């Protein structure tokens, strides 16, 4: 039991310190300054207008006439 603690305790301590360093970096580099605008941008962006169905049909006709690539 004690042998496993000698291994697991230092490994856990390294993980806790690494998580603390990454969290400290995230706070002071501005990662959490504006967490709301990213979600709002998805909801408020303008949708693209639908394509013209006649141009899509013409494109499908030209691709159907192409011969298959030979291997």
Model confidence pTM above 0.75 = no
- Flag whether 38 is in a domain: no
- Flag whether 36 is in a domain: no
- Written as tens digits, the pLDDT of the chain (71 aa) is 788 889 999 999 999 999 999 999 999 998 888 777 777 777 777 777 767 666 555 556 556 566 666 65
φ/ψ bin of 30: left (φ > 0), alpha (ψ from -120 to 50), beta (otherwise) = left
- Flag whether 20 is in a domain: yes
- Flag whether 15 is in a domain: yes
- Flag whether 66 is in a domain: no
- Flag whether 44 is in a domain: no
What pLDDT is attached to residue 47? 72
* Range of the structural domain that residue 7 is part of: 1-26
- Flag whether 13 is in a domain: yes
- Flag whether 33 is in a domain: no
What pLDDT is attached to residue 56? 58
- Domains of the chain: total: 1
């Amino acid at each position: 039991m004690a042998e496993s603690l000698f291994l697991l305790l230092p490994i856990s301590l390294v993980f806790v310190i690494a998580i603390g360093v990454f969290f400290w970096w995230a706070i002071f580099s501005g990662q959490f300054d504006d967490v709301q605008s990213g979600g709002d941008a998805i909801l408020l962006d303008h949708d693209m207008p639908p394509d013209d169905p006649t141009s899509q049909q013409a494109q499908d006709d030209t691709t159907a006439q192409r011969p298959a690539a030979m291997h």
